[in-house]
Structure 1
């Protein structure tokens, strides 16, 4: 099972809800900013988890609204949730940063284009930092925001600050070590 399984099971452990509500909660909590998860994957995952017997769906009709399926954890889902928590927390930590694919290939670009790539990454990191600062400010005094959610935002902010420092060192190293020398 994957991280998305843990996200869906964890949300349903707190309260039963529809796939649509799960997707909205993922959007609201900005989970897709720090875990690769998409709207279609949530819908697909709820179907898969139900087929495995980890969640069960009940059709509910409220007033004049159309019917919807509300999912809840089964006993097997509770056990799977706990197993995933321990399995994933005891795995080696991997930090995948897509822009590292650019960094490892910088030597294949001419000087000006190398600088443009690094500048672009630096700009995107600044945008992310600004977004995180605003998000933290908006949510830090909201009682319904879980402390664990705030901890992830703080973690992401610290990581962004470290990446900013690292980018500065890449730029300095690149100049002094001729990282930015013309390619062949």
Structure 2
């Protein structure tokens, strides 16, 4: 998947690191909240990118720790990174929201269950909004946090606010005495 390639190559463009370090950075930056990426996919992707010549692994041993591969970007990897940046930036935007599978099927349920489903989605959106608010407040004054990372958090927050407004309009179609 090109997105995972871009995430891994982008991290290695900044500095050499092992697959474990990439995985920890993905967790720390909460990248999996806005891009479909998993821990096993990072390890697998590192091996694939090395096979393709985009990254090079050097085996290092630090102290009493076991040996590990530390990956760095090759010239071909740098070109691939730039190619992927341009390719992905030029693609049409698709916003996939898993809960839309529930929304398109609401009319197949009794009103009470419809309301329960929408209330659950609303609760999860509020939870996400709180998480984003806390994350933004926690990271906004830390100079090591890249502006681009903050921009993604702010983008997610704006999307969550829009979804909240949309849910409120959706709930208006329900009879008020059953909410």
Match of 1:133 in 2: 133
Gaps of 5+ in 1: none
d(CA) in 1 for partners of 2:96 and 2:175? 26
Q: CA deviation at 1:174?
A: 4.5
Please say if residues 115 and 174 of structure 2, whose CA atoms lie closer than 8 Å, have aligned partners that are also in contact.
no
Residues 118-171 of structure 1: per-residue CA shift (max 9 Å, x gap): 000000000000000000000000010000000000000000000000000111
TM-score, with structure 1 as normaliser: 0.94
Match of 1:3 in 2: 3
Match of 1:173 in 2: 173
d(CA) in 1 for partners of 2:26 and 2:133? 19
Q: Aligned pairs, how many?
A: 177
1:22 partnered with 2:7: no
1:67 partnered with 2:67: yes
SS in 1 for 2:150: helix
Match of 1:145 in 2: 145
SS in 2 for 1:95: coil
Gaps of 5+ in 2: none
1:120 partnered with 2:90: no
- RMSD over aligned Cα, in angstroms? 1.3
Please list, as runs of the form range in 1=range in 2, the aligned pairs for 1:42-121 lying within 5 A after superposition.
42-121=42-121
Q: CA deviation at 1:173?
A: 3.1
SS in 2 for 1:78: helix
d(CA) in 2 for partners of 1:174 and 1:106? 12
